[in-house]
Amino acid sequence: MVAPLRIGLAGVGTVGAAVMRLIESQRALLKARTGRGIEVVAVCARKARKKRDVDISRVRFLADPLALATDRGIDVFVELMGGEGDPARAAVAAALAAGRPVVTANKALIARHGTALAATAETNGVALNFEAAVGGAIPIVKTLREGMAGSSYARVYGILNGTCNYILTRMQEEGLSFADCLKDAQRLGYAEANPAFDVDGHDTAQKLAILASIAFGTRVNPDAVYVEGISSIAPQDLDAAAQLGYRIKLLGVAVRTAKGIEQRVHPTMVPRESAIAQVMGVTNAVTIDAEGIERITLVGPGAGGAATAAAVVADIGDIARGLRVAPFGRPTAKLAASRKAPMQRHEGGYYIRLAAVDRPGTFAAIARHLAAQGISLESIVQHRAGERAHGGEDPRSPAAPAPVILITYATTEDAVRRALQAIQRQGVVAGRPQLIRIERD
C-alpha cells in the first residue's frame, strides 16, 4: 500500500483553511484520482491559538516556516503566507533545496523570484507548482504549460484582476464614477483599504509576467511589463466605447512581435461581441491565441478561498500522482532574458478623447497634427459644447470645450504621443487628452 502524501501547510488564513477543508471533504475522491491518500500533518502560522474556520489541533504546529519547510515528517511544502520576500522566499527555497516539492499560491514570489526557485527545483528533481498564483480556479498555467504544449503562442491576454473588472463593470452599467465604484468595492471587500496595487495595475502585471514566461519562454520579470491603471477612466469613456461597439477592460497582454515579446497592462477597448468583453464583475478570463487553433478563452473565479484552494489542491494532486514538469514549461537555462518593450513601438488602434476649444481653426489644427504623424482616423464622434457624451445637457456654459472622440487605424504609440503633444502645445484642447489602446480580434 502506498503511504499517504504528507502535507506541511504554511499559512492558515482564508486560503489555507479552505485547502484543509477541501482535502478533508474530498479525501476519498482525491485518493481515487491520484492513487494515494493526501493529508495535512503539520501547519505553520503566526499564532497557534486563534479563532479559525478550521480545526488545527489535530495536526502538529510549528511557529517557524523554515522549520516546517525542512521538516522530515512532511513530503510536500505548501506555502500560502504571501509576500515576495522572507519568510516565504526563504522557506520555499529551503524546501526545494532539501528535495521537497513545493506548491504555492504566491504570485508576488513567483513573479519576482520564480526563475531562481525553478532552477533550484530542477537541480533537486522536485516540483514547483503555482497554478493558484494566476487566475484562481482557472487552470491557465497547466493549459499553457501542459495542455497546449505542442502549440506556438502568438498572444495571451486577459482580465486578471477582479477588483478592476468589478469597478469597470459598475461604471459601465450604472454610470458611476471611478471614485464611487472604488468606495463600494472597498465596502464589499473586493478592494483593499489601500487599493493602489490593484487599481494601478501592478497585481495584473505580476500575473502577466508569469503567463508570458510560460507562453514565450522568457525569464519571469514583472519589471519588463508596461503598466497603467484604471483611475483615469471616466464614465464618458465607457459611454463612448459603447456607442462605438466596444467595452473597456483592464487587460494584461503578452504578444509576440517582430521586435520581441511585448508585455503590457492598461485599460483596453475590446469589441463588444468578443468573449472577453462579456466577462463582468469580479470574474477573471484569459484568452489564448495559438497558431492554427481557434481562439480559446478560459473564464472563472480569479480569487477567493474556495477558488484558490481548488487550484492548490489540484497541484498537490499532481505531486501525489508523481507528475513533475519544468515550472515554466522548459528548463530555466533555456529561458530567454525578458526586457521591457518600449511602448512607443507598440502598434495598434487608439481611442482618443479631446476637449476641443470652441474657436475657429481648432479641428483643422487637430487634423493637421494627426496627418503630420501619418495617423488615419477610422471614426470621429463630436458632441456639442455642453453636451455629455452619453446624451443630455450639461449645465456648463455653451462655450465650454466640446468632447471629440477619435478612433485611429493601426499606428504607433510614438506617433500618437507626438501628435497629441503638438495639439496641446497649440492650445486647441483643454486639459489632458484621454488615450486608450484598442485590442481587436
Query: Are 352 and 434 in contact, with CB atoms under 8 Å apart?
Result: yes
Q: What does the pLDDT average to over 374-399? A: 64
DSSP secondary structure, 314-370, as one string = HHHHHHHHT----TTSS-GGGPBP--PPPGGG-EEEEEEEEEE-SSTTHHHHHHHHH
Which pLDDT score is estimated for 403?
A: 87
Here the CATH number for the domain that contains residue 228 is 3.30.360.10
Same domain (yes/no): 61, 152: no
Same domain (yes/no): 145, 129: no
Whether the pLDDT of residue 18 is over 60: the answer is yes
Is 427 inside any structural domain?
yes
Cell of 379: 471614426
Here the CATH number for the domain that contains residue 109 is 3.40.50.720
Whether the pLDDT of residue 158 is over 50: the answer is yes
Letter string b/e over residues 323-359, b meaning 16 or more CB atoms within 10 A of that residue's CB = ebebbbbbebeebeebeebebeebebbbbbbbbbbee
Is 325 inside any structural domain?
no
Is 190 inside any structural domain?
yes
pTM, two decimal places: 0.92
Is 128 inside any structural domain?
yes
Here the CATH number for the domain that contains residue 368 is 3.30.70.260
Q: What does the pLDDT average to over 180-204? A: 91
Same domain (yes/no): 362, 269: no
Is 401 inside any structural domain?
yes
Same domain (yes/no): 110, 166: no
Q: What does the pLDDT average to over 246-266? A: 93
Counted domains in the chain: 3
**Residues annotated catalytic, as ranges:** 207
Same domain (yes/no): 110, 73: yes
Among residues 96, 117, 133, the one where a domain terminates is 133
Same domain (yes/no): 49, 172: no
* Residue 133 DSSP class: G
Cell of 116: 531562481
Query: Are 104 and 131 in contact, with CB atoms under 8 Å apart?
Result: no
Is 201 inside any structural domain?
yes
pLDDT, tens digit, for every residue of 62-86?
999 999 999 999 999 999 999 999 9
Same domain (yes/no): 283, 219: yes
Is 149 inside any structural domain?
yes
Among residues 84, 108, 133, the one where a domain terminates is 133
Among residues 80, 100, 133, the one where a domain terminates is 133
Q: What is the share, in percent, of the chain residues with pLDDT greater than 90?
A: 81
Closest residue by Cα to residue 43 from 77, 80, 19, 9: 9
Same domain (yes/no): 144, 287: yes
CA-to-CA separations, 84 to 62, 65, 235, 344, in angstroms, rounded: 21, 15, 35, 30
Q: Which range of residues forms the domain containing residue 116?
A: 5-133
Is 46 inside any structural domain?
yes
Whether the pLDDT of residue 393 is over 50: the answer is no
Q: What does the pLDDT average to over 253-270? A: 92
Whole-number CA gyration radius for the chain: 25
Which pLDDT score is estimated for 278?
A: 96
Same domain (yes/no): 159, 294: yes
Which pLDDT score is estimated for 195?
A: 93
Spatial distance between the Cα atoms of 25 and 150, rounded to a whole number of angstroms: 36
Same domain (yes/no): 293, 368: no
DSSP secondary structure, 257-281, as one string = ETTEEEEEEEEEEEETTSTGGG--T
Same domain (yes/no): 146, 283: yes
pLDDT, tens digit, for every residue of 284-340?
999 999 998 999 999 999 888 999 999 999 999 999 999 999 999 999 999 998 877
Which uninterrupted H or E stretch holds 411?
strand 411-412
Spatial distance between the Cα atoms of 433 and 413, rounded to a whole number of angstroms: 14
Same domain (yes/no): 214, 117: no
Spatial distance between the Cα atoms of 194 and 47, rounded to a whole number of angstroms: 25
Report the DSSP pairing between strands 260-271 and 128-129: unpaired
Spatial distance between the Cα atoms of 187 and 199, rounded to a whole number of angstroms: 16
